[in-house]
Amino acid sequence: MGATPRAGDPAITPELVAEHGLTPDEYERLVRLLGRVPTYTELGVVSALWNEHCSYKHSKPVLRTLPTTAPYVLQGPGENAGVIAVGDGLAVAFKIESHNHPSAVEPYQGAATGVGGILRDVFTMGARPIAMLNSLRFGSLDSARVRWLFAGVVKGVGDYGNCVGVPTVAGEVVFDPAYEGNPLVNAMCVGLMREDELITAKAEGVGNPIIAVGARTGRDGIHGASFASEDLTEASEAKRPRVQVGDPFTEKLLLEASLELIRSGHIVAIQDMGAAGLTSSSAEMAARGDVGVTIDTSKVPVRETGMTPYEILLSESQERMLVVAHKGRELEVKAILEKWDLTAEVIGEVIAEPVYRVTEGAHVVAEFPGSKLVTECPVYHPEAREGETVKALRARDPHAVPPRPEEADPLWTLTQLLSSPTIASKAWVFRQYDSTVRASTIVGPGSADAAVVRLPGTNKALALKTDCNGRYVYLEPRTGGQIAVAEAARNVACTGARPMAITNCLNFGNPKRPEVFHQFREAVGGMGDACRALGTPVTGGNVSLYNESPVSVVYPTPTIGMVGLIDDISHVTRAGFVNDGDTIILLGDCTDELGASEYLSRIHGLTIGAPPRCDLDGERRLIDLLLDCGRAGWIVSAHDCSDGGFAVALAECAMLERDKQVGVDVDLSDWAHLSARALLFGEAQGRIIVSTTAPGDVLAAARTGHVPARVIGRVGAPDGTFRIRHSTGVVESPVDTLAAAFHDAIPLIMTQIAAATTIESPRSDASEE
Amino acid sequence: MKFGIVTFPGSNCDDDAYVAVTEALGATGIRLWHKDHDLQGVDVVILPGGFSYGDYLRAGAIARFSPIMREVIAHAERGAPVLGICNGFQIACEAHLLPGALLRNASLQFVSDMVTLRVENATTRFTNRYDAGQLLRIPVAHGDGRFTIDAEGLSALEDRGQVVFRYVDSTGATTDAANPNASLDNIAGIVNARGNVLGMMPHPERAVDAALGSTDGLALFESMLAAVAA
């Protein structure tokens, strides 16, 4: 038996092959695999499976270099989500994924369906989603179009997660012209289950039925995964119909039904019909189980009549799942779905014959030999060579940049940085996210370096954070990759958590360009260095390449999603100073490093110099010290120094929460050998500002732990004054003034949004529905 | 004492209400399914928060037609207590268990925040464990929370002490800045004329655990316990 064309199928021509994104070599490979010319349906299937989004054909060899194991890792890469054990018989499933290209053309639905997809990845593992995070990057907010994208993405993220009822607890938002034409929208979901509830997406058991559950299949999102695997162009606007439309209400029903189904014992495996829809989910489940499958598209519940097998296979209609059930339990499966007002139809079965077969009734429209169609994809080893532009930018000496006249007053500089949208308060964003539903959020957005979510029924909590500094990765990818992991680890440690494991979302440009592939290989290498040094294996993630547009190529941005574990919630620590009189200690050391800083970017419009050095052994010692001091009860607050350097971090300690402002008096004259701007605004790594009631104990522990530590001042100053003395001057201001710069910046900019919406997008009414 | 918590399709605070009642309060919680017609002898019905039917058409507009609402309405008409939180408040208004309506927030944005409430009436069966004028810290999270009612209805609410909670600032003053959705007269929660149905936009079930930052919601559940026991 073999597949034959359907009446009305277009002829297979080189043009059609090219439209499907296959190179001539890849097409030859397909013909060899089949032993004949493919049918139109088969061409569609292969184009969906062999695009970058599904096949990782350019990234796989590099990803294999990452560490993926630890005694507590229950599920590493290759499944819908990674899973770690956290004790008490509990396990945590988590994953991060991109939805960049859809969000670039349709921000509301693009972001919403990104959230929907990552939720499904987690609950298909058997875990109930307990927290969402995100990592968003846009161009400059000076652009009306960027404001429209920003507002639409935030509303899309919020509306979807809020409706499903999963708290959005943390994230990051970065603004830089590098993301002007190609915003990054990365969403992370974290779920909780008992270890024995873990289920995978591995088709097994000859004769077992394959069941489509959830929403009906429509014509939306066809070729969405292929769209995500090419550069954005002027023509991308025309691909708006490839963006799927989300229905969070159906998702909530599907979530409850899926968990009930998994707990019922009636099913063998379950997988989201996400990117490349039915094609990808069925082929991946077959490959994992090393079995054959047959699917009859005429049995798939559809939204509209006349859909072809090609369309049904490639639709990315949202809120659908593919289930392999135990034979004979079909009625029980249907009953659970009906309880939740959802459909379930048997559309195929697991077969002994090693073949991937699709029929339309009795007519075979696609048939591939072997069970490994997914892995038949070619693997590429592109050329990697560092770009000359970057080399030149990195070589420039930041200290040679003449200060602007206004910088004579460092308070001006500090205020500029605090009001930089990348640094400024994101309350405008997270007030739109329900961060307290599920009644487990101990630390929500905006008050600590990471979110803290309680594990119900225990005294434990998870600390969660997404992080990456793309500018560092751009200027020196290996160091940048190391810092992305190290900073995320430092962030969760600041709340009192031991860093456990990461998921990553690797947002890069076109891998066929040697300078991009160099960035990719080096950044992943750097991440691996840090993961090994800090003991945080990678349990999965997502690769998003081709993040390029006619306007810009994104900074290479390997977003890290870090999960940390807090053994005892009485040790949870926030970033802000609390008590007048507490001693302020700086753990770590200041350096003369100024390269790749937010200071150079915001004040001088420059992306130059080398990023700060990353001492991974030092980072490990710093984290160990902080956790020891926290357990001893010595730490009142902890905040790491990152974008904007020491001065910004200290100001945040004083007014991160607007209604909890405190005065600060700090003296940095010990660092007289450093220039004032490097001292105040340089971004030397491995530094944490802590406030403590037991300075002697902290200093002694630091000496034992080989971590530089110095008392630098005291919380509280008359009349709420913020003061940093240094060897050549003083930065002094009422805290309230700094708080206004920090907290009002984004709301002031976004008051212009109404105008932007009408000017920039005639479709905004529909998208803001 | 039994608290019944209704799960509509799209309810997402039903688990939280259940945990608040059973763990924080130590009472019995009974899960009620929207397709059922049996209240299983519960003393109090809680209509929880969430997005019943996706808030499609209008928040609460479809859920009021769920099979179990016939029994919930009968329960209320007998004078037994019903607590509507957030989406449950919206459903109670749509079902005419409470007067007024909840409009889209004036900002047109969803608002998630910790707010301060002032207890306006501490004599209801939902608030007898509070003091009049007491300030509470309780989270809000909603897109359609702007309470409105016509002038006649408003003066009736005021005259009969039906306004139970208002949004205030940290000093207890009813300011615009303290009003997260631009509700009429900063109204955050009301009871019906008979005093047995309370609707409120803030989430007391998210304020019963000190580890989460506030236990100010617990006395609301304790009040119901005291009222039913009396």
pLDDT digits (tens, 9 = 90+) for B95-120: 999 999 999 999 999 999 999 999 99
CB of A570 within 8 A of CB of A503? no
Encode pLDDT of A492-512 as tens digits.
999 999 999 999 999 999 999
Using an 8 Å CB-CB cutoff, list chain B residues near A435: 112, 141
Distance CA A55, CA A63 (A): 12
A411-425 average pLDDT score: 98
Distance CA A32, CA B10 (A): 50
Is the Cβ pair A158, B51 closer than 8 Å?
Answer: no
Residue A729 DSSP SS3:
strand
* Of the listed ranges A511-520, A642-651, A710-719, the one predicted with least confidence: A710-719
Structure tokens at A650: 């200290």
CB of A709 within 8 A of CB of A638? no
CA distances to A230, A290, A293, A332, A354 from A206, in Å: 38, 11, 9, 19, 11
CB of A509 within 8 A of CB of A543? no
pLDDT over 50 (residue A161) = yes
Structure tokens at A400: 């040679």
Task: Quote the minimal CA–CA distance from B152 to chain A in Å.
Answer: 33
Encode pLDDT of A303-346 as tens digits.
989 999 999 999 988 899 999 999 999 999 999 999 999 999 99
Interface test mutation site (partner A, options B5, B18, B85, B110, max chain A beta carbons within 10 A): B110
Task: Quote the minimal CA–CA distance from B151 to chain A in Å.
Answer: 31
Using an 8 Å CB-CB cutoff, list chain B residues near A437: 12-13, 16, 49, 141, 206
Residue A118: in which H helix or E strand, if any?
Answer: helix A107-123
CB of A215 within 8 A of CB of A315? no
pLDDT over 70 (residue A133) = yes
Asked if the C-beta of B182 comes within 8 angstroms of chain A's C-beta atoms, the answer is: no
Asked about B96 being catalytic, the answer comes back as no
pLDDT for residue A596: 98
* Of the listed ranges A11-15, A220-224, A406-410, B153-157, the one predicted with least confidence: A220-224
Number of residues assigned to chain B: 230
CB of A709 within 8 A of CB of A688? no
Task: Quote the minimal CA–CA distance from A282 to chain B in Å.
Answer: 29
A419-434 average pLDDT score: 98
Is the Cβ pair B212, A340 closer than 8 Å?
Answer: no
* Of the listed ranges A116-125, A284-293, A730-739, the one predicted with least confidence: A284-293
Asked if the C-beta of B220 comes within 8 angstroms of chain A's C-beta atoms, the answer is: no
Asked if the C-beta of B141 comes within 8 angstroms of chain A's C-beta atoms, the answer is: yes
Q: Which residue of B has its CA nearest to A444?
A: B212
Is the Cβ pair B211, A155 closer than 8 Å?
Answer: no
Encode pLDDT of A542-575 as tens digits.
999 999 988 788 999 999 999 999 999 998 999 9
Q: Which residue of B has its CA nearest to A433?
A: B112
CB of A399 within 8 A of CB of A592? yes
Using an 8 Å CB-CB cutoff, list chain B residues near A162: 51, 110, 112, 141, 143
Taking chain A, what is the end-to-end CA distance rounded to the nearest angstrom?
49
Asked if the C-beta of B34 comes within 8 angstroms of chain A's C-beta atoms, the answer is: no
Of the candidates A249, A439, A659, which has its C-beta nearest B205's C-beta?
A439
Distance CA A635, CA A473 (A): 32
pLDDT for residue B199: 98
pLDDT for residue A762: 35
Q: Which residue of A has its CA nearest to B110?
A: A432
Task: Quote the minimal CA–CA distance from A29 to chain B in Å.
Answer: 47
* Of the listed ranges A303-317, A582-596, A649-663, the one predicted with least confidence: A303-317
Task: Quote the minimal CA–CA distance from A440 to chain B in Å.
Answer: 7
What residue spans define the domains of chain B? 2-229
* Of the listed ranges A146-160, A236-250, A575-589, B142-156, the one predicted with least confidence: A236-250
B41-48 average pLDDT score: 97
Using an 8 Å CB-CB cutoff, list chain A residues near B143: 159, 162
Is the Cβ pair A436, B9 closer than 8 Å?
Answer: no
Question: Closest by alpha carbon to A37, among A57, A18, A19, A14?
Answer: A14
Question: Closest by alpha carbon to A503, among A470, A474, A527?
Answer: A527
pLDDT over 50 (residue B56) = yes
Of the candidates B16, B110, B170, which has its C-beta nearest A158's C-beta?
B110
Structure pTM?
0.95
pLDDT over 90 (residue A249) = yes
Encode pLDDT of A186-212 as tens digits.
999 999 999 999 998 888 899 999 999
Distance CA A164, CA A158 (A): 10
Q: Which residue of A has its CA nearest to B211?
A: A442
Question: Closest by alpha carbon to A214, among A109, A317, A327?
Answer: A317
CB of A668 within 8 A of CB of A725? yes
CB atoms closer than 10 angstroms to residue A725: 16
Using an 8 Å CB-CB cutoff, list chain A residues near B203: 436
Residue B51 φ then ψ, to 5°: -130, 70
- Which position among B75, B86, B93, B142 bears the catalytic label? B86
Distance CA B75, CA B37 (A): 12
Asked about A99 being catalytic, the answer comes back as yes
Q: How confident is the model at residue A620 (pLDDT cuts 50, 70, 90)?
A: very high
* ipTM of this complex prediction, to 2 decimal places: 0.97
A454-462 average pLDDT score: 96
Asked if the C-beta of B12 comes within 8 angstroms of chain A's C-beta atoms, the answer is: yes
Is the Cβ pair B51, A340 closer than 8 Å?
Answer: no
pLDDT over 50 (residue A382) = yes
Beta-strand runs (E) in A126-167: 128-138
Asked about B37 being catalytic, the answer comes back as no
Is the Cβ pair B50, A165 closer than 8 Å?
Answer: yes
CATH T-level topology, domain B2-229: Rossmann fold (3.40.50)
Which residues of chain A have a Cβ shorter than 8 Å from any chain B Cβ? Answer: 155, 158-159, 162-165, 247-250, 252-253, 340-341, 430-442, 454, 456, 569, 659
Is the Cβ pair B143, A162 closer than 8 Å?
Answer: yes
pLDDT for residue A387: 95
Residue B57 C-beta-side C-alpha neighbours within 13 Å = 11
Is the Cβ pair A436, B110 closer than 8 Å?
Answer: no
Q: How confident is the model at residue A229 (pLDDT cuts 50, 70, 90)?
A: low
> How many percent of chain B have pLDDT more than 70?
100
pLDDT for residue B153: 97
Is the Cβ pair A437, B16 closer than 8 Å?
Answer: yes
Structure tokens at A103: 């969000």
Of the candidates A252, A340, A442, which has its C-beta nearest B211's C-beta?
A442
Asked if the C-beta of B59 comes within 8 angstroms of chain A's C-beta atoms, the answer is: no
| Unique residue bearing structure tokens 């708290």 | A167
Is the Cβ pair A163, B206 closer than 8 Å?
Answer: no
Task: Quote the minimal CA–CA distance from A416 to chain B in Å.
Answer: 26
Distance CA A398, CA A593 (A): 9
Asked if the C-beta of B152 comes within 8 angstroms of chain A's C-beta atoms, the answer is: no
Distance CA A323, CA A212 (A): 6
CB of B191 within 8 A of CB of B112? no
Residue A304 φ then ψ, to 5°: -140, 155
pLDDT over 70 (residue A766) = no
Of B174 and A22, which is predicted with more confidence?
Answer: B174
Using an 8 Å CB-CB cutoff, list chain B residues near A430: 112
Structure tokens at B119: 């207890």
CB of A608 within 8 A of CB of A394? yes
Interface test mutation site (partner B, options A339, A434, A568, A658, max chain B beta carbons within 10 A): A434
Taking chain B, what is the end-to-end CA distance rounded to the nearest angstrom?
12
Q: How confident is the model at residue A284 (pLDDT cuts 50, 70, 90)?
A: confident
pLDDT for residue A623: 98
Using an 8 Å CB-CB cutoff, list chain A residues near B212: 436, 439-442, 454
pLDDT for residue A365: 95
pLDDT over 70 (residue A84) = yes
Using an 8 Å CB-CB cutoff, list chain A residues near B105: none
Is the Cβ pair B54, A247 closer than 8 Å?
Answer: yes
- Which position among A58, A99, A518, A743 bears the catalytic label? A99
| Unique residue bearing structure tokens 């989406």 | B87
Residue A43 C-beta-side C-alpha neighbours within 13 Å = 25
Q: Would you state the torsion angle of the CA atoms of residues A717, A721, A727, A728, taken in this order, to the nearest 10 degrees?
A: -160
Of the candidates A252, A340, A434, which has its C-beta nearest B141's C-beta?
A434
β-pair type (A267-272, A320-325) = antiparallel
Is the Cβ pair B51, A163 closer than 8 Å?
Answer: yes
